[in-house]
A and B are shown apart, each in its own frame.
Chain A
Amino acid sequence: MGPGVRRAALILLPWLAIVALWYGVHHSGLISPALVPAPHAVAARFAELATGRLPLDILMSTRRVVTGVALGIALAVPAGFVLGWYRQVRTFVDPLVNFFRALPPIALIPLVIVYFGVDELAKTVILFYAAFFAGVIVMYEGISQISPIYLRVARTLGASDSEIFLKVVVPMTVPHMLTALRVALGVAWATLVASELIAAQRGLGALIQDAASFFQLDIIYVGIISIGFIALAMDLALRRLSRRLLAWQERMA
C-alpha cells in the first residue's frame, strides 16, 4: 500500500464508520426506521434533487455566505488594524465590540427583518454582522501581539512608516487574516441556515424548512449534508491557501 492510498484510506475511514453507524441505527429498531432514513435513500434523494432544486439552493446559500463574509472581512481587516494598532482606541471600543459580538446573530433576525425586509439585503446584513464581529476580534488580537522588535529593526534599516506598514505589519498580519476568514466562514454558515429558515424561498435553509413542513426527513438530511460538505470544502481550500502563504510559520505536528 503506497502512502497515498494509506492517506486516502485514513481520510475515508471515519466517513465510512459514520455511514455504517447510520445503517446500524436505521436497522437496530431503537428508533422507528421512518424517523431515520437509510443512507441509500438519502443518496437517492440527493441524486434526484441534484437535477432539481438543489443546485440553485446551493448556489444561493453559497453566494449569500460568500457575500456576507467578503463584506464582513473587508471591513474587519481595516477595523482590526486600527484597533490592534492604536491602544487608546481599543480601550473604549473593546467593550462595544465584545457587547455586539456576544449577541447571537440569530437573535437579531426579527429586528433585521423589521428594518431590512425579507429580501437578500436582510440576509446579507445578518451574515455581514456575524462575519464582521468574528473577524475583527481575531484580527485585532493578532495585530496587538505583533512584537515591536520587528518594527524597531525595520526602522533601524531605514524603513519609512508606509514601508513598515507594507513590509512588516501586513506580512505579520496575513496569518490572522486567514484565521479571521476561516472563523468568519464557520460562523456565517451557522447563521445562514437560521436566516433562511425564517424567510427565504431558495437556499439550503429554505430547502430544509420546506422539507420540515412536509416531514421529508431524507431531504432534511440532504440539506444538512450539503451544508457540511460545502463548509468543509471551503475550509480545506482556505487551509491549502494558508499552507502556501504561511510556509514560514512553525506548524504543529
Chain B
Amino acid sequence: MTTGRVRIAFEGVSVAFGPPDRRLRVVDDVSYAIHDGEFVSVIGPSGCGKTTMLNMVAGFMQPTAGRVLLDGKPVTGPGPDRGVIFQEYGVFPWLTVRQNIEFGLKLRANRRPAAERAEIARRYMRLMGLEDFADAWPRTLSGGMRQRLALARAYAVRPQFLLMDEPFGALDAQTRSAMQNLLLEVLRTEGKTVMLITHSVEEALYLSSRIVVMTARPTRIREIVEVPFGYPRAEALHEQPEFGRLRSHLRDLVMQEYAAQARQRFAVTD
C-alpha cells in the first residue's frame, strides 16, 4: 500500500546523548520512509528511542548523524504543517475549549478572520463532541475530552502531518477505543499522513497501514510489518484470524526486544 510519494524520510539517522565519555547511543542508523496518506505506527520497548524519532520529525531536535527529511527537505524546526499530539495533552489551561481550538488560527503563521475562525472551531467541536463545552475551562474536562480537544486544536490549523506520541496511553480502555474510532473517522474525512507511537500492539494494528518495530536501545529497525486491512475499519476487525495472527507475531517481536533490553541492563550492571 506504499503507493504515494515519500513525505517523511529517515536516512541513516543516528542519535546519541551526553558527553563523549558517557555517550548514550539511542538511535542507530535508522532508515525508513512514510508515504503520503500512510498511517505508520512505531512500536518498541520503553526507552528505546521512539519519542526521540518523533521529536526529530516534529523539529524539536536534530539527528547526530544522517538526515530526517520532510518532503525531501531536512527538518529545521517545528511548524504548523506538522500537528503534534502529546501524551500529556498540552491543552492550555488558561484558555477555554473554543479559545484552545482557535489559538493556532490567531497566530501570524496561519491567521484567519474571526468569522472563519469561529466556523472552524465550531466544526471541530462538533466533530470531537465538544460543542456543549465551548466555553468550559480545560480543568473541568475529562481525560478523553482533553485529548479530543488537543486533536481538535491540532486539526484546526490544517496540518498535513499528524505526529502522535502515545496519545491515548493515559485513557481507560473504553475511552481509548472510542478515541481510536474517532481518529479513524476524522482521518477518513480529512486525510493526513500519520506517525503514531504506541505501546499497544492492538492499537497499532487497528489503526495503521504499516508498523515499524524497533529494537532495544540503541534502536534499529527490527521489522516493518505491512497491515493488510483496508479502510474504513470497524471493531470487528479485532476478531479476524489474520488480526490475531499479526498480533501474536508483533507481540513476540516486542517481547523479544524487551528481553534483549533486560539482558543488556544485566550486562551493564555486571
Contact = CB atoms under 8 A, between A and B. Distances in A.
How would you classify the secondary structure of chain B's contact residues: helix, strand, loop or mixed?
Answer: loop
Contacts of A250: 139
Contacts, number: 72
A55 B80 CA distance: 59
Interface string A21-54: 0000000000000000000000000000000000
A152 B78 contact: yes
B80 A156 contact: yes
A168 interface: yes
A98 interface: no
A168 B106 CA distance: 13
Interface residues of A, number: 21
Contacts of B84: 152-153, 156
B83 interface: yes
Interface string A211-253: 0000000000000000000000000000000000001111000
B80 A248 contact: no
Contact of A248 (B88, B93, B104, B109): B93
Give the bracket for the number of chain B residues in contact with chain A.
20 to 34
A3 interface: no
A174 B107 CA distance: 21
B32 interface: no
B95 interface: yes
Contact of B94 (A152, A154, A155, A171): A171
Contacts of B83: 156
Interface of B: 58-60, 77-80, 82-84, 86, 88, 90, 92-96, 103-104, 106-110, 137-139, 153-154, 157
Closest 4 pairs between A and B when the two form their complex, measured CB to CB: A158-B109, A158-B80, A157-B104, A153-B90
